[in-house]
Amino acid sequence: MPDPLIHAALMRATGALPAHEDRPSQQDMADAVAVAVKNNRHLIVQAGTGTGKSLAYLVPALTLGTRAVVSTATKALQDQLATRDLPFLAESLGVPVEFAVLKGRSNYVCRQRVSEVAGGDQQMVLGSDGAASEGDQLGPLGREVLRLVSWAESAASGDRAELPWEPSDVAWAQVSVGSRDCPGASRCPSGSVCFAEAARERAMEADVVVVNTHLYAAALAIDGELLPPHDLVVFDEAHELEDIASAAFGFEIAAGRLHALGRSAKPLLSDPSTAVAVEESALLFNAALQPHVGSALSQPLDQDTQERLVLTRERVSRLLGEIRRAIKTAEDGGAAGDGAGGMGGGGGGVGRHLRSQQAATHLLRDLDQVLGLTRSDVAWVEGPEHAPVLRIAPLDVGIAFREKLWSKVEGPTAVLTSATIPPRLGDRLGLAPGSYDQLDVGSPFAYDEQALLYCPVHLPDPRDPGFEKSMHDELVALIEAAEGRTLALFTSWRAMRAAADAVRDRVGWPVITQSDLPKPALVARFSTDEHSCLFATMGFWQGVDVPGPALSLVTIDRLPFPRPDDPLLKARRELLGRSAFEMIDIPRAATLLAQGTGRLIRSRTDRGVVAVFDVRLAKASYRWSLINALTPMRRTRLLSDVEEFLAPLRSRPPAPG
């Protein structure tokens, strides 16, 4: 039964919207969230496009006085909540709403590093090649860093997003620290004026805190106090939660961490030989990984890999001991001013020593985990052979969620929501059967009238050599039928470029690709030029919102099955055996396919066609698992039906201007 209090609050909020309309699905979701909060019972809710799900979970949380953390998978949604939805609710509900945005530490400028640069302690940023230069000669990197130093003096929150320009990652790294390197506010000379700590203090006082999902999962992983106490956590865009948690619960090691540690520690020690040895271990580490690029590490490790990693670990351990002795010497009053090994420099030396100690401690812990791999972890090597990266992730993130979140007696109630909820999401995230409710509130859009799903069964199978040419011919016919107005999605960059090259000169409408402009500029151009065609890859399968006739045709080249050689998924497949395709590959393809097709209908007045060129959608034995994951569109195998459906577009008068 609807809660009158929640209903009245939601009506007050939605009534203040510029284009108010009743959304029964939004009310249903708000009621379900209220019940979940009151009963402390987890909820998984699929809320189709147009539901207005952010208000559906924020209104109950605020009305019931629940301290909430909203965890989003994308920066776009994080910004929408912080700059639009929460300020709007604070005004429309007529109640005081304190909210804050909390990001990972590396998003904030570090006052300690800034003080070191400003005081001349930093030795890596002044010259054009990253080394110190003589006199007043600064290289491009040095000038960029000093510009950041100047900005930090008057920055309000120290958040990188406040910058009026986009700094290079190399420059930003000189004035920021990650969680691996930060010694903590209590030990840092600038801890009392730390921007990241100030953001956390604001979050401690807020009713609603908006974070990204990686930060939330990282907080769970370390059992730390990165997040304020909260009664409710909302995982928006929950279809990405499993993959993000896999990354956050794991870690990666590359030779760059050894280079950086040795380089930062070298000027801090009276005898730099141990730091030099760690720097040189980067070559040793690469040699250990190079034979495994593109594959998983065996368990147990082979002898050569084991020996090289053990030697690397021994060198890092010796360096950590040297750093600790240098710190103790300084604490005992034995520092030699600003000289080598000293801790002077107005706190600069202290900060550098503590950061090096923190970095060495984290690296040593990670190497120990690699050397002691268990069957619950998967380790694999990615990247080019000259710069391999070792990644480690849990085989089953559900175990970590059960241990670190669901089993907590005083843990928060969780609401997991998305326009597309993957099959068996609760099971994969470790929720116990019977411990949660699940519902689909649908969408306010009439998909059976507004959208048509087309699968041209006359095309060859995508694995056939003749598929690509036939697909390009079909794409040309569809673009002409829609007079442009096409978002063409591809499962690889190669396929996107090949299609653009083959189609561009055969259609009478502009074709732009993901390679041409940054994403915001591409979407803006596509939205404003009604007859343009945008060709893009996986980054555009979600998070693109273009209502109106400018997007009237979405095409998809192949069913988006995950790569068969992905080491993490391969290990999970081996664990599941014969059921792996049904349990892993089909759900992932269904979720991504639903996200891609969801780009089409974004308002009640939208109308258009989704064309999937992969005949397996119409013929494979598993086709209904994919079709049932999509919105309930009319379906056809005939191009003539598509042309008839799109005919009203061709009678539209040209857009003004």
Q: What is the C-alpha to C-alpha distance for residues 7 and 230, in angstroms, rounded to an integer?
A: 24
pLDDT at residue 561 is higher than 70: yes
CA nearest neighbour of 400 among 587, 237, 226, 244: 244
Give the C-alpha distances (Å, rounded to integers) separating 353 from 358, 367, 413, 485: 9, 21, 41, 58
Same domain, 486 and 547: yes
Q: Report if residue 184 sits inside a domain.
A: no
Q: Report if residue 373 sits inside a domain.
A: yes
Backbone angles phi, psi at 134, to 5 degrees: -85, 150
Same domain, 455 and 595: yes
Same domain, 496 and 357: no
CA nearest neighbour of 181 among 363, 388, 366: 363
Q: State the pLDDT confidence band at 164, using cuts at 50, 70 and 90.
A: confident
The residue-averaged pLDDT of 441-454 equals: 94
One DSSP character per residue, 607-627 reads -EEEEE--THHHHSTTHHHHH
pLDDT at residue 135 is higher than 70: no
Kindly report the average pLDDT of the chain as a whole number: 89
The residue-averaged pLDDT of 514-532 equals: 90
Q: What is the 3-state secondary structure (H, E, C) of 14-56?
A: HHCCCCCCCCHHHHHHHHHHHHHHHHCCEEEEEECCCCCHHHH
Q: Among 175, 198, 225, give the residue marking a domain's end.
A: 175
Same domain, 579 and 462: yes
CA nearest neighbour of 533 among 579, 496, 573, 559: 496
Same domain, 528 and 635: yes
Q: Which stretches does DSSP call E strand in 187-259? A: 208-212, 232-236, 251-254
DSSP 8-state secondary structure symbol assigned to residue 421:
P
Same domain, 388 and 512: no
The CA radius of gyration of the chain, in Å to the nearest whole number, is 27
Q: Among 159, 175, 191, give the residue marking a domain's end.
A: 175
Who wins on pLDDT, 490 or 163? 490
Q: Please tell me the predicted confidence (pLDDT) of residue 534.
A: 97
Q: Report if residue 186 sits inside a domain.
A: no
* 8 A C-beta contact, residue 386 and residue 328: no
Same domain, 468 and 390: no
Q: Report if residue 423 sits inside a domain.
A: no
- Which bin fits 158, alpha (ψ -120 to 50), beta or left (φ > 0)? left
pLDDT at residue 337 is higher than 60: no
pLDDT digit string, tens, across residues 257-286: 999 899 889 888 989 999 999 999 999 999
Which tokens hold the place of 540? 């555009």
Asked if omega into 300 is within 30° of 0 (cis), the reply is: yes
CA nearest neighbour of 246 among 466, 572, 538, 618: 572
Burial of 643 (0-12, 13-18, 19+ CB in 10 A): middle
Q: Report if residue 476 sits inside a domain.
A: yes
Q: Please tell me the predicted confidence (pLDDT) of residue 50.
A: 87
Same domain, 510 and 380: no
Same domain, 501 and 579: yes
Same domain, 320 and 381: yes
CA nearest neighbour of 246 among 462, 24, 567, 605: 567
Who wins on pLDDT, 122 or 143? 143
Q: Among 160, 175, 190, give the residue marking a domain's end.
A: 175
Which residue type sits at 440? Answer: D
Please, what sign has the CA dihedral across residues 303, 309, 315, 319?
A: negative
* 8 A C-beta contact, residue 479 and residue 533: yes
Q: Report if residue 226 sits inside a domain.
A: no
* 8 A C-beta contact, residue 309 and residue 301: yes
Which tokens hold the place of 66? 């629940």
Q: Report if residue 571 sits inside a domain.
A: yes
Same domain, 381 and 469: no
- CATH number for 568: 3.40.50.300
Same domain, 470 and 604: yes
- Give the range of the structural domain holding residue 474, as residue numbers without chain letter: 447-650
Total of domains in the chain: 3
